[in-house]
Amino acid sequence: MIELPTLESLNVVVTLPALALVLGAIVLLLVDVFLPERRRWITGWLALIGVLVSLGITLLTTDRTGEAFGGMFVADSFTAFLNVVVLITAAVGILIAMDYLRRTDMNRSEYYFLLLFSTGGMMFMGAANDLIVIFVALELLSIPLYVMSGFRRPETRSEESALKYFLLGAFSSGFLVYGIALIYGATGSTHLPAVWAAVSAIVEGGSSAVYLVLLGAGLIVVALGFKVAAVPFHMWTPDVYEGAPTPVTAFMSVGAKAGGFAALLRVLVIGLPSLIVAEQTAAAWVDALALIAALTMILGNFAAIMQTNLKRMLAYSSIAHAGYILMAVAAAGHPAVANQGVQAALMYLLTYAFTNLGAFGIIIAVERNDGSGVSLDDLRGFSRQRPWLALLMAFFMLSLTGIPLTAGFVGKWYVFWASINAGQVVLAVIGVLTSVVGAFYYVRVIVRMFLEEGSADLAQPRLPRTLRAGLIVAGLGTLIFGVLPFLAADMTTGIQIALAALGGG
Partner 1 sequence: MIPLWMFLVVGAALFAIGVFGVLARRNAIAILMSIELMLNAVNINLVAFWRYLTPETMSGQAFAIFVFVVAVAEAAVGLALIVAIYRRRQSVVAEDMNVLKW
Partner 2 sequence: MENFPQLVPLVVFAPLIGLLINLILGRWLGERGVGLVAIGAALTAFGVAVLEWIALANTGYAPSVVEIGILRDWLRIPAAAVDIAWQFRVDTLSVTMMLVVSGIGSLIHIYATGYMHGDKMYPRFFVYLNLFLVFMMLLVTGNNFLVMFVGWEGVGLCSYLLISFWWDKTQKDAKYGTVGWKNSLAGRKAMIVNRIGDFGLLLGIFLVFWTFGTLDFYKPGEVPIAAAHGAAHAGEGEAHAEGEAVVDTHAAETPAEGEALQAQPLSAAMGVFNQAETFLAEGREVNFGPFSLPIQTVLTLITLFFLLGVTGKSAQIPLFVWLPDAMAGPTPVSALIHAATMVTAGVYLIVRSNVFFHAAPFSSAVVTLVGTFTALVGGFIALGQWDIKKVLAYSTVSQLGFMVAAAGLGAYGAAMFHLVTHAFFKALLFLGSGVVIHAMEHGHHHVAHAHAEHGHEEGHHEEEAFDPQDMRNMGGLRHTMPRTYRAYLIGTLALAGIFPFAGFWSKDEILADALNAGFLGGKLEGYIAFGLLFVAALFTAFYMGRQLWMVFFGEPRTEAAKYTGERDFGYPVMVRVLEVLAVGSILIGLINIPSGFWIFDPVLPTHAFTDFLAHTVVYAHAGSAQMLLAFIAVGAGIAMLLLARFIYGRHPVVDGDKDPLEVREQTAGIFAYSNARMYWDETYYRFLEGPFNRAALWLADKLDGTFLHDFVHETLLRDAYNGATRVLTDPVDLGLIDGAVNGVGRLVRWVAGGIRRLQTGYVRVYALSVLFGALLIMVLLLAPLLRQMLGM
Q: Is 180 in the site for partner 1 (CB under 8 A)?
A: yes
Per CB under 8 A, which region of 6-14, 45-53, 233-241, 423-431 contacts partner 1? 233-241
279 interface partner picked from partner 1, partner 2, none, CB below 5 to 8 A per type: partner 2
Cβ at position 400, least distance to partner 1 in Å: 22
> Which one of residues 23, 42, 52, 277 is an interface residue with partner 2 (CB under 8 A)?
277
Q: Using a CB cutoff of 8 Å and minimum separation of 24, what contacts does 265-268 make?
A: 265/78, 265/329, 265/332, 265/342, 265/345, 265/497, 266/125, 266/126, 266/128, 266/129, 266/134, 266/192, 266/497, 267/131, 267/134, 267/192, 267/217, 267/220, 267/224, 268/217, 268/221, 268/329, 268/332, 268/333
Build a one-symbol-per-residue string for 353-382: x at contacts with partner 2 by CB under 8 A, - elsewhere.
Answer: -----------------xxx--x-x-----
> Which one of residues 181, 207, 302, 421 is an interface residue with partner 2 (CB under 8 A)?
302
- Residue 200: count of CB within 10 angstroms of its CB: 18
> Which one of residues 22, 55, 68, 219 is an interface residue with partner 2 (CB under 8 A)?
219
Nearer to partner 1, 309 or 496 (CB): 309
CA distance 375 to 62: 42
Build a one-symbol-per-residue string for 125-164: x at contacts with partner 1 by CB under 8 A, - elsewhere.
Answer: ------xx--xx--x---x--xx--x--xx-xx-xxxxxx
Q: Is 469 in the site for partner 1 (CB under 8 A)?
A: no
- By CB under 8 A, how many residues form the interface with partner 2? 75
> Which one of residues 292, 310, 393, 495 is an interface residue with partner 2 (CB under 8 A)?
292
Q: Is 306 in the site for partner 2 (CB under 8 A)?
A: yes
Q: Is 182 in the site for partner 1 (CB under 8 A)?
A: yes
- Strand, helix or coil for residue 308: coil
Specify whether the CB–CB gap between 319 and 234 falls below 8 A. Answer: yes
Q: Is 426 in the site for partner 2 (CB under 8 A)?
A: no
> Which one of residues 309, 385, 421, 460 is an interface residue with partner 2 (CB under 8 A)?
309
Q: Is 270 in the site for partner 1 (CB under 8 A)?
A: no
- What residues form DSSP beta bridges with 74? 67
Distances (CA, A) of 464 to 3, 100, 241, 417, 484: 55, 9, 23, 40, 30
Q: Is 171 in the site for partner 1 (CB under 8 A)?
A: yes
Q: Give the chain's end-to-end CA distance (angstroms, integer).
A: 30
Nearer to partner 1, 308 or 369 (CB): 308
Nearest to 442 by CA among 343, 284, 321: 321
Nearest to 170 by CA among 190, 132, 147, 143: 143
Nearest to 317 by CA among 331, 342, 296, 345: 296
Q: Is 10 in the site for partner 1 (CB under 8 A)?
A: no
Q: Is 343 in the site for partner 1 (CB under 8 A)?
A: no
Build a one-symbol-per-residue string for 236-255: x at contacts with partner 1 by CB under 8 A, - elsewhere.
Answer: --xxx-xx------------
CA distance 189 to 177: 14
Type of residue found at 130: D
Nearer to partner 2, 448 or 468 (CB): 448
Build a one-symbol-per-residue string for 140-159: x at contacts with partner 2 by CB under 8 A, - elsewhere.
Answer: -------------xxxxx--
Which run of H or of E encompasses 74? strand 73-75
Cβ at position 191, least distance to partner 1 in Å: 8
Kindly identify the residues of this chain, within the stretch 434-463, that bind partner 2 according to CB under 8 A. 437, 439-440, 443-444, 447-448, 451-452
Nearer to partner 1, 243 or 361 (CB): 243
Cβ at position 405, least distance to partner 1 in Å: 35
CA distance 383 to 400: 19
Cβ at position 79, least distance to partner 1 in Å: 21
> Which one of residues 135, 233, 324, 416 is an interface residue with partner 2 (CB under 8 A)?
233
CA distance 358 to 379: 16
CA distance 55 to 69: 22
Q: Is 462 left (phi over 0), alpha (psi -120 to 50) or beta?
A: beta
Cβ at position 1, least distance to partner 1 in Å: 12
Distances (CA, A) of 257 to 68, 326, 383, 502: 25, 11, 31, 26
Q: What's the burial of 6, exposed, middle or buried (CB within 10 Å: 0-12/13-18/19+)?
A: exposed
Nearer to partner 1, 185 or 387 (CB): 185
Kindly identify the residues of this chain, within the stretch 292-311, that bind partner 1 according to CB under 8 A. 306
Cα-Cα-Cα-Cα torsion 297, 299, 302, 306, nearest 10 degrees, comes to -140
Kindly identify the residues of this chain, within the stretch 363-402, that bind partner 1 according to CB under 8 A. none
Cβ at position 382, least distance to partner 2 in Å: 14
Cβ at position 143, least distance to partner 1 in Å: 5
Binding residues (CB under 8 A) for partner 1: these are: 131-132, 135-136, 139, 143, 146-147, 150, 153-154, 156-157, 159-164, 166-167, 170-171, 173-174, 177-178, 180-182, 184-185, 188-191, 238-240, 242-243, 306
